Amino acid sequence: MRIVALLAIVALTSSAVPAQAAEPSPLTPYHRSPGQPGAAGDEQPPRLSVRRYETAVYPHRDRYLDRTPVDVETNEWVRLTIEYVDSAGKVAETIRREGTIDERFWLDARTAGGTMWPAGRYLLRATAVDRDGNVRETERRFTVSHKRLVKRTWRRTFSAADVLTQGGIDVGDCSTLKRPARSDWRESRGYYSMTKCDNADEGQVASVNGVWVPKALEGRYDWLQISMHGAGARSGGLRNGPDAYLNFGYYNKAGTFTGRAEFDGRMIEHFGPRVKANGFVRDKDSAPYILFWTGLAGGSRYDVKSFTVRLRRSVLR
C-alpha cells in the first residue's frame, strides 16, 4: 500500500518563525463556526473510496472467508472514522485514522478478544472530515454468518433404469438389454450377450449411464465412488451365475474411459474404484452430473439391480 505524506510548509518570515506542518494544532478548534470560511475556503467534501471485496464474512477459522479486505482511500488529509454497526444500531467496532488515507483494513468480525460477532446483517459506515469540516460518508452492507466449511458425503441409490442416458445404449444384433432383469427387481436391467446368435462381433451390451449430483461450495468436490448391486443371470449364455462378469468404468471430463473395474457374478455389492471427483463432475457450477459405463460381451449374462453413488463434497453448515 502506498502511504502519501502531504506537508504544507509555512514560509519563514524575517522574525524567523519556525516552519510548521499543516495538520491542525491540538489547540485549534477542528470544526469552524457556521458561516466561517476555512483558511483555504474549501467547501468541497473530500473524496472517499471504500471497497469491500465480499458481502459476507464467515469468522470460523476454517480458511473460507474468515476475513475480507476493505480498501479505503481519500484524496486529502482527513479524520477518518470507520464503524461496524449491527442491525440494532449497536457499534461492534470503531477504527480511527488521520492523514491522507490509502490503507487496507481486514474485516474479521471478531472482537479484540477473539470472540465472533453475533450473526446477522451489518453496516460498514466510513466518515471522512477534512480540515475545513467538510464531511463525506460512505456505507457498505455485509453479513456475518456462523456457518463453517465442512465436508459431507452425499449418497444416493438409483435403479439400473434410472441411470440410462438417451442415446447411450449399445446393444449388438445378437444380444439383449432385458427389462426388467428379474421380476422381483423393479426397474432392473439384464445385460445379456449373444441371446439371438453366436456372432461375437454383435455380442456387446453396453450403456453410458448418468446421474445428477448436488453442487459443492465453489465446486469443491473431494472423491467419487460408485457401487453396483447385482449378480450373474440365473441361467443361459456362455457365462452366468458366479461365472458371469460385467465391466465398469468412469468417464472423466475429457471423455476418457478410466477407473475400470470388472465385477464377478456373485450376489454382492460390487465397488468401483474411488477417484478424485473434480476430474469427473461436469458442469459443476450450473447443473453438475457424472457419467459412467457398464457393459459386457462374449456370452456373459448379468442382472443389474441398482447403482449407489457416493460423493464427498464441501458445503457450508
CATH code at position 82:
2.60.40.2550
Domain boundary residue, one of 124, 144, 164:
144
For 262, the grid coordinates are 470388472
Residue 38, in any domain of the structure: no
Helix, strand, coil share (%) of the chain residues, nearest 5: 5, 50, 45
Q: Considering 98, 121, 144, which residue would you say is the last residue of a domain? A: 144
The pLDDT of residue 42: 75
Q: Please give the pLDDT value at position 63.
A: 92
Indicate which CATH number applies to the domain containing 266.
Answer: 2.60.120.260
What is the value of pTM for the model shown? Answer: 0.79
Residue 8 lies inside a defined structural domain of this protein? no
Which residue range is the domain that position 255 belongs to?
A: 151-316
- CA–CA separation, 102 and 47 (whole Å): 12
pLDDT computed for residue 41 by the predictor: 59
Kindly state whether residues 138 and 155 are assigned to the same domain.
no
**Residue 128 located in a structural domain:** yes
Residue 156 covered by a domain: yes
Whether residues 202 and 58 fall in one domain = no
Pair 193, 257 in one domain = yes
Q: Is the residue at 62 inside a domain?
A: yes
What b/e string do you get for 85-94 counting C-beta neighbours within 10 Å, with b at 16 or more?
bbeeeeebbe
Q: How many domains does the chain fold into?
A: 2
Per-residue model confidence as pLDDT tens for the chain (317 residues): 333 333 232 333 333 333 333 444 333 333 333 434 344 557 899 999 999 999 999 999 999 999 999 999 999 999 999 999 999 999 999 999 999 999 999 999 999 999 999 999 999 999 999 999 999 999 999 999 999 999 999 999 999 999 999 999 999 999 999 999 999 999 999 999 999 999 999 999 999 999 999 999 999 999 999 999 999 999 999 999 999 999 999 999 999 999 999 999 999 999 999 999 999 999 999 999 999 999 999 999 999 999 999 999 999 99
Whether residues 222 and 160 fall in one domain: yes
Eight-class DSSP state of 61: S
312 found inside a domain: yes
Cα gap 205→94, rounded to integer Å = 70
Do 175 and 88 belong together in one domain? Answer: no
Q: How far apart are CA 237 and CA 202, in angstroms?
A: 14
Residue 208 near residue 166 (C-beta atoms within 8 A): no
In this prediction, residue 6 carries a pLDDT of 30
Residue 170 sits in the same domain as residue 308: yes
Specify if 56 maps to a domain. Answer: yes
CA angle in degrees (0–180, nearest 5) for 98-70-108: 105
126 and 164 assigned to the same domain? no
H or E, element range at 261: strand 257-264
Residue with cell string 473524496? 47
